[in-house]
Chains A and B, each alone.
Chain A
Amino acid sequence: MVDEDIKLIGKDGIRRDGRKFDELRPITIEAGVLKRADGSAYLEWGENKVLAAVYGPREMHPRHAQNPSRAVVQARYNMAAFSVPDRKRPGPDRRSVEISKIMSEALEEIIFVEQFPRSSVDVFVEVLEASAGTRCAALTAASVALADAGIPMSDMISSCAAGKIDGQIVLDLGKKEDNFGEADVPLGMVTSSGKITLLQMDGNLTLDEYKKVMELAMNACREIYQIQREALKKRYSTSLEGYEDIEDTEEE
């Protein structure tokens, strides 16, 4: 994977896009951006642009897929045809099917699925522009959309990758770094408990390097969690003004 001609980190320790080894790309999140969905979030992460929508809990279709004792969490990760340099054919491919599966499983961990037998919680993530790290962006946005949809959950999930480029451990690989780097480890973390809900790795790392990668990624997840929090607070801040005035209401 290493290309001798491409230097990803300069002698001063600065990466090609000007970041330090432990620096995230800029992240902005806006909650509640769609009307039809029960909850939604739009996230920009460097050049990545993703939109997440949640429907449910709702009666699951087809019926035979219902679980009589709990809700089924169905995430669908989809890339728009124009989201990548070479146009992608619309519809699921093996990669997006895999990502959808691990996202569903990661989110199921935090949702109180047992409260909603026979139903589904549907999470749709559309990648509108992709530039490395879309699955982390997708999971982070999905978690905000779920909270926005009022889904009962034990916690939130934040997600970020770290890896190795030019023999150094760095946070949040950019596109070139991902293409020419030596290892990439996307992590999804349950924020308060620090438990791991999504983990993948490809490339080559020693155990020591893995420990460093995880330390960087876990710290970044805590940082991202604050951005998720702020997005939700901003969305609901105004509707809470003067809340006590309407707290004790009775029906007509």
Chain B
Amino acid sequence: MNEKKETKRELLLPGDLIVDEGVKPGRGTFKRGGKIYAATLGVKTVRSGYVNIAAQSGRYDPKRGDRVIGTVTDVNSSIWMVDLNAPFPAVLHVNDVPWRVEFGDTKRYIDVGDAILVKISNVDELKKIQISMDEEGLRKLNNGQVIEIAPSQVPRVIGRKGSMISMLKNYTDSRIFVGQNGRIWIDGPLEGQYIAVKAIQMIEEKAQVVGLTDAVEQFLKEETGKVLENKREDK
């Protein structure tokens, strides 16, 4: 056997052995012959007794409770079909929207091409994804724009304790929502949106995380001409 040992923060590849003692196999792992291995390319994290692999690439893997941004691809008399950048399309049923929709009246509320902010309400064993809009904050997005980043980059855009995202909002006077599926909704003055998009692209492309917040702040200062002091809590 060609078993590979891993160290902290090392990139694990599919089939790499995880050597931690007394942990249970979590997300992105599998068990074979009493041992735990990585199933996807990613980084190991251990939480509440489970070892997980945080994927560094790939499509969005839907989890119940995630808030995501979808694009409506099809409508019929009682459901909307929604693309989430997941392996499977999601279904939004008329019972799961905040309005009382008469049978066959679906199109009047949400149509093909609409962007919607929804929650994953269930993923069943056959990977059928159900989503819901019937909760505070969930809605059809009427203004602004939606951009897409790799789902694995979502934590970088949010930043530690949300530091990156609040900085982006403050400098660009925009409302920003980062869906767990890598879709980001941005709304605000045209100029602000434009700068926010550029900043997010910068976050995605900038290789190193060390000093990233400072680099992005510098960029935002230059682009917006704003000076916001001591807004960040993590410094």
Contact partner of A152 among B3, B14, B210, CB < 8 A?
A: B14
Chain A neighbourhood of B89, CB < 8 A:
59
B87 touches A150 (CB 8 A): no
CA distance A192 to B126 in the complex (A): 30
Given pairs A148-B57, A150-B56, A249-B159, 15 additional interface contacts (CB within 8 A): A39-B58, A58-B87, A149-B58, A151-B14, A152-B39, A153-B39, A192-B2, A192-B15, A240-B11, A243-B43, A245-B209, A246-B156, A246-B209, A249-B162, A252-B178
A148 touches B127 (CB 8 A): no
1/0 contact string of A218-252 vs chain B (CB within 8 Å): 00001001000100110011111111111111111
Interchain residue pairs with CB less than 8 A apart (16): A39-B57, A116-B127, A150-B58, A151-B14, A153-B14, A154-B15, A154-B30, A236-B11, A238-B207, A241-B207, A242-B209, A244-B9, A245-B160, A246-B160, A246-B209, A250-B162
Ordered nearest first, which 5 A-B pairs have the shortest CB separation?
A150-B58, A155-B15, A238-B207, A242-B209, A57-B87
Q: A232-B11, A238-B207, A251-B178 are in contact. Are A117 and B126 (CB under 8 A)?
A: yes
- Min CB distance, A61 to chain B, in Å? 12
Q: Within 8 Å of chain A (Cβ to Cβ): is B50? A: no
Q: A119-B87, A192-B2, A246-B156 are in contact. Are A237 and B208 (CB under 8 A)?
A: no
- Closest partner residue, chain A, to B212 (CB atom): A242
Contact partner of A154 among B4, B32, B177, B180, CB < 8 A?
A: B32
Q: Within 8 Å of chain A (Cβ to Cβ): is B166? A: yes
Binding site for B on A (CB under 8 A): 32, 38-39, 56-59, 68, 110, 112, 115-119, 147-156, 191-194, 222, 225, 229, 232-233, 236-252
- Min CB distance, A225 to chain B, in Å? 8
Q: Which applies to chain B's interface (DSSP): helix, strand, loop or mixed?
A: loop
Chain A neighbourhood of B41, CB < 8 A:
147-148, 150, 232, 236
Central interface residue in B32, B41, B127, by most chain A CB within 10 Å: B41
CA distance A117 to B158 in the complex (A): 32
Chain B neighbourhood of A39, CB < 8 A:
57-58
Q: A116-B127, A240-B11, A246-B209 are in contact. Are A251 and B1 (CB under 8 A)?
A: no
CB contact list, B163-205 vs A, under 8 A: 165-166, 176-178, 180
- Closest partner residue, chain A, to B211 (CB atom): A242
CA distance A232 to B56 in the complex (A): 11
A152 touches B28 (CB 8 A): yes
CA distance A117 to B184 in the complex (A): 28
B155 touches A222 (CB 8 A): no
